[in-house]
Amino acid sequence: MLKMFLIIYILAGPTLAGIMMTVALAARMDNATMLWLTAAGAVIAIPIAWVVAKMIVDRTGWGQRNA
């Protein structure tokens, strides 16, 4: 589960941070606000990646050992 979470987070973290950075740039926000929004995007990606990884593992059985 942890490996799948990290794989998903590697994709979701920068994507959401980039989206938040684009929003900040489009809204012409100052540098401090831009930094906070970018960090918030990376933090918001954590529970999203966890839920997506859990769904993938539950549906596919990825990473489970067969005895």
pLDDT computed for residue 63 by the predictor? 76
Compute the average pLDDT of residues 3-29: 96
- pLDDT-wise least confident of 11-15, 26-30, 61-65: 61-65
Q: Does residue 45 have a pLDDT over 80?
A: yes
Is residue 5 a contact partner of residue 51, using CB atoms and an 8 Å limit? no
Compute the average pLDDT of residues 55-59: 93
* Dihedral (CA of 35, 37, 42, 46) sign: positive
Length, in residues, of the chain:
67
- pLDDT-wise least confident of 15-19, 20-24, 60-64: 60-64
